[in-house]
Amino acid sequence: MRLALVASLAVLAACTVAPEPAPVAQDAAVSAARESVLPKQAADTYYVKAAAAVEGRIEARGLKPAKNVILFIGDGMGISTITATRIYAGQYAGEDGESHVLAMDTLPWSALSKTYSHDFQIPDSAGTATAMTAGVKTRSGVLGVTSDINYGNCASLPGNETESLFEIAARAGLATGVVTTTRFTHATPASTYAHIPHRDWESDANMRGASSDTCKDIARQLIEWPAGSLDIALGGGRSKFLPAETVDPEYADAKGERADGRNLIEEWSAKSPDHTFVFDKAGFDAVDFNTDVKLLGLFEPSHMQYELDRDKDKAGEPSLAEMTKAAITRLSRDEDGYVLMIEGGRIDHAHHAGNAIRALEDAMAFDAAVAAALEMTNAEDTLIIVTADHSHTLSIAGYAQRGNPILGLSVSGKGGEGGSDGADGLPYTTLGYANGPGACRVTGKDKDGKDVLDCARQDLTGIDTLAPDFRQPALVPMYSETHGGEDVAAFASGPGANLISGVIEQNEIFHVMGRALGLVPAPPAE
C-alpha cells in the first residue's frame, strides 16, 4: 500500500547511516573554496535587512559549509495542512494518526516564516518564491524582480531583475535542478530562472505577442537561460513549449499554444548530445541518471496529475519521490555540488478547489519525496530546507475524539455515540475552509444560463466525506478558495540548518542557503 510506503520511507530517513568522514571533509573544503559574488539585488532594502539578520545568527552560532542544498516547497502547505496530512497518513497506514511522524517532522531545526509580500498582506506564489530564491520581498504576481517593478509593464523590467540562487550556482559551476508537479513555467519553478513583470506570461500567447528580447515569456527564458542550462528540469506544461499547430506527443486531441511557431522542446534537445526530452513514465524510466544527461521532462500538457488520480494511471507519469531520486542521482555526479528545488505544487491547487483529500494526498507524496532525499543524502554536507510559500484557509476544528477520521464528520463521543452537531442541529466535518466553493452547491441554471446556488449549510448526514470529489464546507462562498496569511513552517537539517529557528522573514531563506554554500558574501561591516 502506498501509504505504508510513505511511512516506511519516513522511518528509513530517520535511520540514515552517515558515510565515512573523509569525503565530508573534502566536501567542506570544496564549499569553503567557492568564490562568493554579490547578486544584482544586493542593494535592495529587503535584501540588505535579511542579509544582516542571517549574518547576526552566523556570528552567534557559527556556520558549517554545505556542498549541496535542496529546497523543498510544499505550495500552499500551511501548518494546518501538515497536521492534517500527518493524521491522514498515520490513519491510512493503520497507525495512530495523531502521533504519526512525517519525514519532515524529523528535521532537527525549525522556524516560522513570515510570508507577506511587498504589496500584499496575504501573498501569492510568485512573490514568495522570489523571496526564497532571490532574497528580496517583491510584489505579488511578479517573478525574479525587485519591488521597484511595475506589474505587467515590460518597460519597467530592465534594471529591476534579480539573480536567483540557481543562476548564481550555475555560473559558479554547480549542478542545478528543479522538480515540480505543476507546469514548469508556473510561479514557483519559474522563480529559479525567469524575470518577468507578470507571472501568467508563461508562453508568448499569454503575452498577446508581446514577448521580445527585452521581456521574454517564461518558457522561452528557460531555453535561453543566460546562466546555461538546468541539468534536471521535471514537471508538466508541454503546451507552453510547443507551437499552436503541433499535436501533443501523448494526447492526440491536444496541441501546443505558442504563437511564435517556435518548438522550444526541439530547441532544448538541439543544445547538445546530452540534452534529452521525455514526456512519459516509460521515457523517464529509460533515462540513465548516472550520466551527464541534461533532462527536460514534461509529463502533461498542463499540470501533472494529482497524486490521488495518478494511481489510476501509473504508466503515465513518475511520482514526485521518483523524480526526486532521479534528480539527486544525476546532480550528485557533480563534484562541485548542486542546488535543487523540489515543489509539491498541486497541494495548492486542491486547496483552491476546496478538496482536502487531494491536498492531503499530494502533501503525503511531497513528504515521501522528503524521505527519499533524507535517505539519499548526508546531513554533513547537504542542507535540506522544507517549507511552504504560503498557507491556505484550511482549519481543523471541533472536538473530534482521538482516532476520528480526519476527513470525516467531527465526532466527540462524549454523551453517547452521537455526533458533534452545530447549533443548527447539523453535523460538520473536522476539516473546513474559511472560504471557497464548498460554501454553495449548484442546483440548476437560471433563464440566463447562470448557476443557481444553494448556499445554506448542507446536511452531511449519510454523505461520504472521504469521496475523492467531496468539497469541504466553507464559510464565504467563492469559486476558488484563497490563500491564508499566517506564518508557515520551515524545517531544516544539515550545514546551515542552525540558522533556521525562531521567527524569520521568508527572504532570509535565500541568505541561509547562499551563505551555507559560500556563494553569497557576508554583508559589509557597518
Cβ–Cβ < 8 Å for 151, 198: yes
Which residues neighbour 522 within 8 Å (Cβ) at sequence distance 6 or greater?
51, 55, 58, 515
Active-site residue among 113, 117, 125, 147?
Answer: 125
Q: Which helix (H) or strand (E) holds 210?
A: none
How far, in Å, CA of 42 to CA of 135, rounded? 9
Which residues neighbour 112 within 8 Å (Cβ) at sequence distance 6 or greater?
487, 488, 489, 490, 502, 503, 504
Question: Is 168 exposed, middle or buried, given 0-12, 13-18 or 19+ CB atoms closer than 10 A?
Answer: buried
Nearest to 67 by CA among 342, 332, 324: 332
Q: Which three cell numbers, joined as nine digits, stand for 154?
A: 515590460
Question: Is 19 exposed, middle or buried, given 0-12, 13-18 or 19+ CB atoms closer than 10 A?
Answer: exposed
Nearest to 472 by CA among 355, 330, 370: 355
Residue 113 among the catalytic residues = no
Q: Which three cell numbers, joined as nine digits, stand for 525?
A: 561591516
How far, in Å, CA of 105 to CA of 71, rounded? 15
Nearest to 360 by CA among 464, 438, 280, 472: 472
Measure Cα distances from 261 to 211, 267, 276, 299, 495 in Å. 13, 12, 21, 21, 46
The residue type of 263 is N
Measure Cα distances from 336 to 29, 65, 176, 294 in Å. 10, 13, 11, 16
Left (φ > 0), alpha (ψ -120 to 50) or beta: where does 62 sit?
left
* Residues with active-site annotation: 125
